[in-house]
Amino acid sequence: MTEAPPRTAGPGPAATGPRLVGTSVPRKEDLALLTGTARFIDDIRLPGMVHATILRSTVAHARVRSIDTAPARAVPGVLDVLAGAELVGKVKPWGDLMQDLLVGDHFPFATDKVLYEGQELAAVVAGTRYQALDGCEAVAVDLEELPAVVDPEQALRPDAPLVQERIVYEFGEGNVFDRYRVRVGDFAAAERDAAVVVRQRFTTNKQAGAALDPHGCVASHDPFTGVLTLWSSTQSVYMVRDVLADVLQIPRTKVRVMVPEVGAGFGSKAQMFGHEVIAALFSMRLGRPVKLVLRRDEIFRAGTTRNSQVRYAELAMAADGEITGYRDYVVHNTGAMSVWGNQVVHIGTNVGMLPYPIPNVHVDSDIVHTTTAPGGPLRGFGIPQTVWAKEQLVDMAARELGLDPLAVRERNVVDPATFPYRTPMGQVIDSTSIKQCLTACAEAIDWAAKRAAPVPHEGLGLAVSMKYTSCRHPSLDTDLSAVRLRLETDGTVTIYSSDVSHGQSHATMLSQIVADGLGVGIEKVTLAPPDSMTAPFGLGTYASRGAAVLGTACRLATERLRDKVLAIAAHVLEVGPGDLDTGNDRVFVKGLPDSGIYLEILAATAAYRTHQLPPDFEPTLETVATYDTPTEREASDGSGNLSVTYSGAAHAAHVRVDPETGRVTVVDYAMVHDTGTVINPLVVEGQHQGGFLMGMGMALSEDYVYDENGHQLNASFKDYLAVTAPEVPELTRMSEIPAPSTTIPGGQKGAGESGTGPVPAAIGNAVLDATGIRFTALPITPQRMLTALREKERRGVETLRYPDDMPDFTGPRCPDEWPSPTAAEADDFDFDFDFDLDPEEGA
């Protein structure tokens, strides 16, 4: 037993209760990242490593006549070449591996048909990257181009080119990959009884995650052990390991996935990709490490994108402003193939109904293939799309009834007398402060005063959302994370987790939890790099699940570790465990914080002096905990509590529209969030600000622009308009009104995506207020704005819906019954927009 010297600094002796959780501890991750010593995927260099490059299709849709790799083999430096034909029957196709609907729509290379521009045709590995590029140029490709289908509604037509020819879908036919429906309550009755039903066709854009750190991997196969090691820039260790092992038909024990620093993902790295299989195959064939890092244009064309949607949305409202019903027909464009794409419409619609407990919901969706880049998850996972339509309809209905949009929202947001409260859609709200968030957000933007004194070309808009905190995906009956902890014999603690931190600050956040729970100094806690050989099984980092789900697993593992530590200390000190407390790296008798036994002594006892352990104590101090959320599977009517708790977001936008350039400037923006108990306030603030940025890009500039042949015209940061610093308003009107989750033991809620959901809708509502134009398409580009302003002037109207102005429409249920939209003019997205453009000759 050791006497501790008196403390000279740091927190006082009250060592119980949270000390670090809830404080903005500067991050443990930062030093390496700030000094350039952090190792990202492209920084990995192994002895004997060679370089691979992929040859990709330059056409979107084509029959493969032949791909001759022989000429590439003759190029100096080229070591090996691969194409699809030789892999058929040897490599297993993959798709949504873990879902009921098993679809083998992915293969490392196009074999009989090319389905989108950028699809893999062949790959070359050589001594240097330049030699590999030379090799790719030598591959002889003969393709017979087929008509492309870019527009998801065109893809539904019986005469549309068929994208996936070989796959027989369970629920769809033609280009319909899957169907989805919600039947909650009785929308027809709601429609009959409503004071007003507003209807509009809305469209949303294909947005890129555009994480700056490229997708890539290094594969190294050890012919002696047979273990294939893959370093990959991915969000999920086990998704990659399990799918890769399955594809290669080798045991999962022979695939080891390790993850270096990952320069963000936003959902775009939450699956296994073809390049990971290709690098693995090359390494297995050559017996050498192979690096394959994608270029920016490859990531644009062949990475995943936010699923674009066409929504025929309707909202019923009673005279007093109560929202009584929502109906929608969604054409959901999931690109040429998709691993996660169809899930987006399920979760985006179910959770997207919040924060309103709408009693009657009727949604149909066709999930369709087009010859465009694969759809997938992206920050917000379908919520921003749903909110874009629904929150604009709320404003439209409020205006028709002469009600204040703020008052209508305050009347409708979920605000039950008691918790937990189950909404008609099935969500179980365990706590929320969304109503207070809404009020506070309106105050922050100065809603009442600014609306009383309108400024020309300026406007205000509101939008609210509640976001899932992780999710039980309809296709994946699990929602778990796990943590293993080891108290090392020098008193330090190692955390093992397979949920990859790629900006979310796991090392800091989990260390805060461990430090508080165990009474150990935070600098003694280390998060081990994600590695499938050592980390417990977990699903990965996506869906805002880090703080709540992984954090809970960490909390449980810490509690178990603390119990073990107390048991040893109680035995040594001959007191009951209940008389003990932890803190300052020690276990001490309650009330005597300056005495006690150091954790390292206890850890050493547990490992090296096992005779001194309590009888029956299993030696060493290592614990593991897995937390699976108490969520439900989606019911056949589409209802269900898919998320363990819901984070609230109330946003208010103040925009200015320049009638000369058509440019929308976000002058001011207020965000008030309910993120439950916040572990690290500065980190959560950063998440919201980053979330806003992505929402702003979706609202105003980011989109995939295709020509009719399916060529992406803006597969580069030159033309893809990612939001830059001068465009972003000062994001200082931000606050939290925490309503701690009662389901999650620590009270946390998801932080990562709350900032994104309401942004396009809040900006859209503000644009209407500023201009009288209700934008129905995203993004609201300067050129679209100029066209709309001119059209409004030409028609001499007060308000205009643009581009789809359809005032005569009365409640149809399928697209055939919808009147044709009357787009004002050709609506090309001019990504090379010139701000000096003369408005007279614009567009």
Binding site for ligand FES (CB under 6 A): 212, 263-264, 503
Nearer to other proteins, 428 or 485 (CB): 485
List the structure tokens of 639: 């209802």
Residue 78 contacts which entry, ligand FES, other proteins, none (Cβ below 5-8 A, type-dependent): none
Nearer to ligand FES, 118 or 503 (CB): 503
- Beta carbon of residue 501, minimum distance to ligand FES (angstroms, whole number): 12
Output the CA torsion sign for 832, 835, 836, 841. Answer: positive
- Binding track over 239-268 against other proteins, x by CB under 8 A: ----------------------xxxx-x--
DSSP string computed for 99-113? SSS----B-SS-SSE
CB half-sphere exposure, 595, CA atoms < 13 A:
9
- 261-279 burial, b at 16+ Cβ within 10 Å, e below that, comes to bbbbbbbbbbbbbbbbbbb
CB half-sphere exposure, 326, CA atoms < 13 A:
28
Decide: is 833 part of the binding site for other proteins (CB under 8 A). Answer: no
Closest CA to 247 of 112, 97, 54: 97
DSSP string computed for 49-96? -EEEEEEE-SSSSEEEEEEE-HHHHTSTTEEEEEESGGGBTTB--BSS
- Binding track over 474-513 against other proteins, x by CB under 8 A: ----------------xxx---------xxxx--------
List the structure tokens of 662: 């058509």
Q: Are 221 and 284 in contact (CB under 8 A)?
A: yes
Binding to other proteins (CB under 8 A) within 63-82 occurs at none
- Beta carbon of residue 40, minimum distance to other proteins (angstroms, whole number): 7
Decide: is 825 part of the binding site for other proteins (CB under 8 A). Answer: no
- Beta carbon of residue 212, minimum distance to ligand FES (angstroms, whole number): 5
- Binding track over 4-43 against other proteins, x by CB under 8 A: xxxxxxxx--------x--xxxxxxxxxxxxxxxxxx-xx
Binding to other proteins (CB under 8 A) within 597-636 occurs at 598, 600
Q: What angle do CA 356, 358, 361 make, to 5 degrees?
A: 130
Nearer to other proteins, 472 or 506 (CB): 506
Residue 630 contacts which entry, other proteins, ligand FES, none (Cβ below 5-8 A, type-dependent): none
- Beta carbon of residue 503, minimum distance to ligand FES (angstroms, whole number): 5
Binding to other proteins (CB under 8 A) within 689-708 occurs at 689-694
Residue 634 to residue 641: CA distance in whole angstroms: 7
- Beta carbon of residue 37, minimum distance to other proteins (angstroms, whole number): 6
- Beta carbon of residue 51, minimum distance to other proteins (angstroms, whole number): 11
Nearer to other proteins, 243 or 734 (CB): 734
Taking the CB of residue 526, how many other CB atoms lie within 10 A of it?
A: 16
Amino acid found at 321: G
Residue 302 contacts which entry, ligand FES, other proteins, none (Cβ below 5-8 A, type-dependent): none
Q: Are 266 and 504 in contact (CB under 8 A)?
A: no
CA distances, 548 to each of 426, 478, 745 (Å): 21, 15, 9
Nearer to other proteins, 154 or 595 (CB): 595
List the structure tokens of 722: 């990612």
Nearer to ligand FES, 197 or 507 (CB): 507
Binding segment (CB under 8 A) for other proteins, from list 523-531, 539-547, 621-629, 742-750: 523-531
Decide: is 839 part of the binding site for other proteins (CB under 8 A). Answer: no
Q: Looking at 223-341, which runs of residues are DSSP E strands?
A: 227-232, 255-258, 290-293, 305-306, 308-317, 323-333
Nearer to ligand FES, 423 or 508 (CB): 508
Taking the CB of residue 338, how many other CB atoms lie within 10 A of it?
A: 28
DSSP string computed for 786-801? HHHHHHHHHHT-S-EE
- Beta carbon of residue 208, minimum distance to ligand FES (angstroms, whole number): 14
Residue 599 to residue 581: CA distance in whole angstroms: 12
Nearer to ligand FES, 380 or 662 (CB): 380
Residue 69 contacts which entry, other proteins, ligand FES, none (Cβ below 5-8 A, type-dependent): none
Residue from 731, 777, 786, 788 binding other proteins (CB under 8 A): 731
Nearer to other proteins, 636 or 724 (CB): 724
Residue from 430, 479, 585, 622 binding other proteins (CB under 8 A): 585
Residue 2 contacts which entry, ligand FES, other proteins, none (Cβ below 5-8 A, type-dependent): other proteins
- Beta carbon of residue 559, minimum distance to other proteins (angstroms, whole number): 20
Binding segment (CB under 8 A) for other proteins, from list 303-311, 342-350, 367-375, 725-733: 725-733
Map tokens 């979107």 to a residue.
60
Residue from 121, 150, 515, 561 binding other proteins (CB under 8 A): 515
Nearer to other proteins, 99 or 526 (CB): 526
DSSP string computed for 586-651? EEEETT-TTS-EEHHHHHHHHHH-GGGSPTTPPSS-EEEEEEE----PPPTTS----SS-EEEEEE
Nearer to other proteins, 34 or 448 (CB): 34
Residue 292 to residue 296: CA distance in whole angstroms: 13
Taking the CB of residue 798, how many other CB atoms lie within 10 A of it?
A: 7
Residue 801 to residue 804: CA distance in whole angstroms: 6
Nearer to ligand FES, 30 or 142 (CB): 30
Nearer to other proteins, 272 or 293 (CB): 293
- Beta carbon of residue 725, minimum distance to ligand FES (angstroms, whole number): 11
Decide: is 142 part of the binding site for other proteins (CB under 8 A). Answer: no
Decide: is 444 part of the binding site for other proteins (CB under 8 A). Answer: no
Residue from 314, 685, 703, 805 binding other proteins (CB under 8 A): 685
Residue 63 to residue 86: CA distance in whole angstroms: 17
Crossing angle of helices 405-412 and 383-400, in 10° steps, is 120
Binding segment (CB under 8 A) for other proteins, from list 540-548, 565-573, 679-687, 813-821: 679-687
